[in-house]
Structure 1
């Protein structure tokens, strides 16, 4: 039996991981969420699949994270095979915001997407050390890649992009530190995915994003489904070895197929 813990599992990619992984009854899936109040679809899924365990915590609070880790430890006898860091925020909106966005908004994104994820790693590290797979995966974004940003010319979502780029180097640093323990780290871009965070109902904004992305890949037609993204990501996660620990790759397992 393989144990998986996914933060930000209420909706979108996080819920997609829970759905995909829990199909296999040999997987123990821990869906880590902030509140049950907005977890309707997850609750419905958990009612059907007994291998889904919902864990409520606040990833910005190390004390509460320690409690969440202890809760998981009771079920797994003190171990965790794969930790997926998916929780995060894209900001108050996903539209074309300039770099002059108020600094307090940028700082909020950095705290949510960067500092809180470091807390999660540290609080769950002992469990992962005791796991069989020993994998920690950070769900990053192409927005955190320098060359992607340079070619597409996207100046939007400054705080979000900084936080994702920051976590990419955090992943590499932790990978270098933890290789002696056999722990493998990976930053993984999910692609352009059809989620609330990535797709807006405003046709003008969608067109803006599409035109920017086509500067890098003219064949892009639109976002992919959550299921397609998660399926590709799990293939990359399954193939992760110590040889490529600490890298930042796309959902195709390389550094150039972003879509």
Structure 2
């Protein structure tokens, strides 16, 4: 059995983290960097705090051109990619259920949350398969199983599609040496979610703590009593892409503090 260096277990690996400038994506990028990987991050806008140890590519992955730009720049600059973390995602559609959504709402959400990973996988998989090595992580969401129809209908549908696609892709490429895994977080405590809670509190004339409890109630409760911290998600992703997880593939892992009511 291969011997692992736990202190620098990703040394020599090239990793790409999409949406790697903020929130869970930033935490994942930092975690892979700490494990010795060469880490590339991509987002539409540069990170607020520059880290010279991370290579940044500005790109809009909600477009086919943006995905092609990233694939071309990574492969031309580094020659290969060992680890792909498809973390980019989010919802900016209006609340109000199906009647409040138009085609543009649906299309923009599906492009960012489903088609961006599909395009990047398609771009990077050939060289992984040729080398019979590689790990792809799809960051989905518990909303793939627990949709909030009033506020995030397209997002929930896209993440459900991502979960199904990830399993199908794993069945195809695992025999060719590439591991594919899905990580589905629940609510994560990010600067964006803090701003969102502040907006809820102002609109409802309540405290931020009351707003947070209201969101947890809407999810059916979080037994752990709080959202996840980005570093908690990143730590698990760091394990999954490491040699220690060499037999894990085709599986979805939920990080939700017990939110989902069923197993």
**With structure 2 as the length reference, what TM-score do the two structures score?**
0.78
- Using the TM superposition, give the Cα deviation of residue 196 of structure 1 relative to its aligned residue in structure 2, in angstroms: 4.0
**Alpha-carbon spacing, 1:23–1:168, altered in 2? closer, same or farther (3 Å):** same
Q: Partners of 1:183 and 1:194 in 2: how far apart?
A: 31
Q: Partners of 1:154 and 1:240 in 2: how far apart?
A: 35
1:191 aligned residue: 186
- Using the TM superposition, give the Cα deviation of residue 8 of structure 1 relative to its aligned residue in structure 2, in angstroms: 0.8
1:35 aligned residue: 45
Uncovered stretches (5+) of structure 1, i.e. residues with no partner: none
Q: How do residues 168-187 of structure 1 correspond to structure 2 at under 5 angstroms? A: 168-187=163-182
- Which of residues 227, 234, 244 is equivalent to 1:230? 234
**With structure 1 as the length reference, what TM-score do the two structures score?**
0.79
**Alpha-carbon spacing, 1:106–1:60, altered in 2? closer, same or farther (3 Å):** closer
- Using the TM superposition, give the Cα deviation of residue 126 of structure 1 relative to its aligned residue in structure 2, in angstroms: 2.4
Q: Partners of 1:103 and 1:64 in 2: how far apart?
A: 24
Q: Partners of 2:239 and 2:152 in 1: how far apart?
A: 29
Q: Partners of 2:192 and 2:218 in 1: how far apart?
A: 17
- Which of residues 3, 10, 17 is equivalent to 2:21? 10
Q: Partners of 1:191 and 1:86 in 2: how far apart?
A: 14
What does the per-residue CA deviation read over 1:118-152, in whole Å, with 9 as the maximum and x for residues that have no partner?
Answer: 1111112224335675111011111111xx45xxx
Number of equivalent positions: 237
Q: Partners of 2:66 and 2:142 in 1: how far apart?
A: 30
2:9 aligned residue: none
Q: Are 1:21 and 2:32 matched, yes or no?
A: yes
2:61 aligned residue: 59
Q: Partners of 2:160 and 2:17 in 1: how far apart?
A: 20
What does the per-residue CA deviation read over 1:173-206, in whole Å, with 9 as the maximum and x for residues that have no partner?
Answer: 1111112311111110133211244442224653
RMSD: 2.9
Q: Partners of 1:245 and 1:60 in 2: how far apart?
A: 26
Q: How do residues 69-80 of structure 1 correspond to structure 2 at under 5 angstroms? A: 69-76=71-78, 78-80=79-81
**Alpha-carbon spacing, 1:168–1:198, altered in 2? closer, same or farther (3 Å):** farther
- Which of residues 235, 252, 255 is equivalent to 1:251? 255
**Alpha-carbon spacing, 1:35–1:206, altered in 2? closer, same or farther (3 Å):** same
